[in-house]
Structure 1
Amino acid sequence: MLTTLTVIIFLITYFVIMTEKIDRALAAGLGGVAMLIVGIYDINKAFLTYIDWNTISLLFAMMLIVIITSQTGVFEFVAIIMAKVVKGRPIPLLIVISTLTAIGSAFLANVTMVLLLVPIILTIVRMLDIPAIPYLITIIIASNIGGTATLIGDPPNIMIGQAVEHLTFNAFITHLSPIVLIIYGVVLIYLIAIYWPKLQVDTIDQKKLASIKASNYLKLTPALPKSIFVLLMTIAGFVLNPILHIDLTSVALAGALLLLLLTHDEYKPDEVFKQVEWGTLFFFVGLFMLIGGLEEVGVIDELARGMVFYTEGDLPKTSMLILWMTGILSGFVDNIPFVAAMIPMIIEFKDYGMTNLDPLWWSLALGACLGGNGTLLGASSNLVVAGLAAKEKEHINFIEFLKVGFPIVIISLGISSVYVYFRYLLNFTM
């Protein structure tokens, strides 16, 4: 009975979020609280087990850093420089911003990268008077693809790396970066083909951009060097994570608190806190509670177990099934709890005579990370971009994103299948 009730609550909430009839944070919150009211789990388990406070805290900390840094005008400065480099041409701008997003997401974590880039691209598109949505969707797509390439780029990779000792930072780069480069190239061509007709700039706006001095946007106050210093130090902490062994959330929180301390004379903490995207954070809380309900009644675990045992120990079949099922499901159900359920299932395969589990791990990583592009709810970075955009009155429609993102997932998984088969599975089929 509880299982049926949990699935009903999840589906109703998901439907409301998709139709956007009410605010998504409110919808997710109502669904999460409904799990508590019907007794699927208690409040202690929700707060101590199912809500991922590491993710919430990382988002909160990076929002604080971005909010303070944006007050100095540095994002406008960078935006104008970037726009001038491509001479205000929309398609070259799309290529530059997506490539920067993909590279940054591999080494800074995709959520961090989108927090930094969204304010910049919103500034540029307003100067050029062109639609923001194509660029925002491109940033989401590129962040998930780029984050697939390294151990620290996307949470599922971090989880897999922690569970399997020999899958190091360098191993992820060696095994996943080649296919990520191929997928990124194909997807970028696809995005350009979709958005080319929609991105036209008036020559007047280009001339206006050329006449603007980027330095005029910088506010030369003590907060400028302080915020840039803290931002760069925080990014350095992320990059050096494999050496320092300090988790990303701790680095981000340290950076945010240090910046609040250094700039409190110019930017009062109370005023900074008012600008935080609280709706996005509460949406994450509600979403974690919803997924927690599915975990509590064993739905996710049964999905994972059934998927694995359906193949009866055949490695190529298991690898392909994990890749495609994880990829499709990750677009609709948060990939973090699903990967958490899959990891022990894959480890169990040792008991069935499988000695080489690496193809399964790479299939899981590719499916979970690339599948995040399927819907607006598929990955943390998607939700962050949507939240930042909504604050600036740029609404990313769920269905509009689905039309672009889901075909990209199919393309990505298709390319990944060929790669996994020929690199890891060919010897097992001969």
Structure 2
Amino acid sequence: MTTLLTIIIFVISYCLLMIEKWNRAVVALTGGVLLLICNVYEWEEAFGFIDWDTIALLFSMMVLVSITKKTGIFTYVAIRLAQLVKGRPVPLLIVTGCFTAIGSALLDNVTTVLLFVPVLLSLVKQLQLPAFPYLITTIFSSNIGGAATLIGDPPNIMIGQAVEHFSFLSFLNNMGPVVLIVFILVMTILLLLFKNKLYYNEELATKFMKEDANKHLKKDQLLFRSLSVLFLTIAGFMLHPFIHMDITTIAVSGALLLLFLTDKYLDVEQVFQEVEWVTLFFFMGLFMLVGGLQTVGLIDELARGMVWVSDGDLPFTAMLMLWSSGILSGIVDNIPFVAAMIPVVQELQGYGMMDVDPIWWSLALGACLGGNGTLIGASANVVVAGLAASYREPIPFIKFALYGIPILLLSLVVSTVYVFLRYLLPFL
């Protein structure tokens, strides 16, 4: 009876998260509390299921970005890049993709789109350009760029925390090459699709070139200290294997250092108010929901089922994980999917699969790149759609899917070749 209740609560919570009529943090936490009410586990166990390293890492990055944002540096860089290409529509599309991909890799994709999309919508409005090509480019680039690093996409953060020997450089080394290939292919396709729909207005471009980007930039100690600590933190991520300090400790240290250094310039309470608490509590509820599945043994059964289907064959299991995670992440948000799959991969080690790293990389690739399939495939997609709607530039679900599904399939095909050649060939 307990197992049935757990499944019902999990499925209902998942469905409510998909239809997005209620706040996702409230839905996830309610599901977790219902498991407590049904005696699936106790409070101590529920808190044990929450990955506090992931929560602390996300919180720290949010604090760092929240403070740095107040300097106006992100708006300044976006305007300067647009002026660098002289407001020309096609080069601006390329700049949009590159800026979003790099920002998503170094910060995280949700934060990047939150900072960039309002500026982007203002730019295309000034130049009287259609918003859709730029918005869809931003979404695709954010998910692709975010796949390259440990902190770039929430699924990577979760996987990085679950696998002790994965570092920032591990992700860059293993995910970076295929991400670069996919990004180049996707940008080429987008340019071919949209280049004839983007018209250059010389008069408006000339007017835009006269805008002073410096007025958005606060050139004071806050700017110097924010950028210094942000770069220092990212450098710490890259040096993580050499300084023997875990990623979470580096991020928390960076956030606290910046709070101390900017205490005279900013109200700490205001900084904390700008933290995306909904996202953090959503993760907590999500970990509790998945913990319920672990408690009643469903995760273990799922792992056994995967071993039975693949007959313990590592290459087949990796391919199964890549395509199932890619397709399912295109249908549902990739965060709850990865949260459910992490303990499954961990269980596979108990069934004779000693080297499961290819499966981890397959899961990361499928989940991150699969997020491009539909508007609800990744958190960044939902954020961009919400911002666009508030600026009266709605992104139709079906129209997005017509572009997203082919991009998703192309990404999975490229990833299949990459995973096969790099990881699986020696096993055959």
Q: TM-score, normalised by structure 2?
A: 0.81
Distance 1:382 1:245 in 2: 35
Partner of 1:29: 29
Contact 1:160 1:365 (C-alpha < 8 Å) held by counterparts: no
- Asked if the contact 2:53/2:161 (under 8 Å) is kept, the reply is no
1:320-339 deviations in whole A, cap 9, x for unaligned? Answer: 22322333345534314413
Change over 3 Å in CA distance of 1:91–1:293 after alignment to 2 = farther
The equivalent residue for 1:311 is 310
Please state if 1:348 is matched with 2:325: no
Output the CA distance in 2 between the equivalents of 1:156 and 1:278.
Answer: 17
Higher mean displacement: 14-23 or 72-81 = 14-23
Offset of 1:381 from its aligned partner?
A: 5.8
Structure 2 residues not aligned, in runs of 5+: none
**2:47 is matched with which residue?**
47
Any stretches of 5+ residues in structure 1 without a counterpart? none
Describe the SS at the equivalent of 1:162: coil
For 2:357 and 2:59, locate their aligned partners in 1 and report how far apart those are by CA, in whole Å.
Answer: 35
In structure 1, C-alpha distance between the alignment counterparts of 2:346 and 2:58, rounded to whole Å: 25
> How much does 1:84 deviate?
0.9
Shift of 1:114: 4.7
What is the alpha-carbon distance in structure 2 between the residues aligned to residue 117 and residue 132 of structure 1?
14
CA pair 177-271 structure 1, distance change in 2 beyond 3 A: closer
Counterparts in 2 of 1:348 and 1:237: CA distance versus 1, 3 Å: same
- Tell me the amino acid that sits aligned with residue 341 of structure 1: V
Report whether the alignment pairs 1:126 with 2:125: no
Q: Which residue of 1 aligns with 2:338?
A: 335
1:172 and 1:222, CA in 2 relative to 1: closer, same or farther beyond 3 A?
A: closer
Q: Secondary structure at the match of 2:40?
A: coil
C-alpha separation between the residues in 2 aligned to 1:364 and 1:292?
A: 19
Q: Residues 402-422 of structure 1: CA distance to partner in whole angstroms, max 9, x if unpaired?
A: 665444333222222233445
Q: What letter is aligned with 1:85? A: L
Q: 1:171 to 1:244 in 2, by over 3 A?
A: closer
Report the Cα distance in structure 1 between the residues aligned to 2:399 and 2:5, rounded to whole angstroms: 30
For 2:307 and 2:232, the matched residues in 1 are separated by 43
- The 8 Å contact of residues 222 and 262 in structure 2, kept in 1 or not, is answered as yes
Aligned to 1:251: 250
Seen in structure 2, the aligned counterparts of structure 1 residues 374 and 291 have a Cα distance that, compared at 3 Å, is farther
Q: 1:202 to 1:245 in 2, by over 3 A?
A: farther
Name the residue aligned to 2:164: 162
- Distance of aligned partners of 1:212 and 1:262 in 2 relative to their CA distance in 1, 3 Å threshold: same
Offset of residue 119 of structure 1: 1.2
Inter-partner Cα distance in structure 2 for 1:15 and 1:64: 31
The number of residues matched between the two structures is 418
Inter-partner Cα distance in structure 1 for 2:144 and 2:390: 25
Cα distance in 2 for partners of 1:371, 1:56 equals: 23
- Secondary structure of 1:264's aligned partner: coil
CA distance in 1, matches of 2:193, 2:300: 38
State the Cα RMSD in Å: 3.7
**What displacement does 1:81 show?**
1.0
Aligned pairs for 1:187-266 within 5 A: 187-192=186-191, 203-266=202-265
Q: Within 2, Cα distance between the matches of 1:92 and 1:303? A: 47
1:145 touches 1:369 (CA, 8 Å); kept in 2? yes
Amino acid at match of 1:334: F
Cα distance in 2 between the residues matched to 1:48 and 1:388:
35
Cα displacement (A) at 1:342:
0.8
Partner Cα distance (1:139, 1:319) in 2 = 29
**2:358–2:419 Cα contact (<8 Å) kept:** yes
SS at structure 1 position matched to 2:56: helix
TM-score by length of 1: 0.80
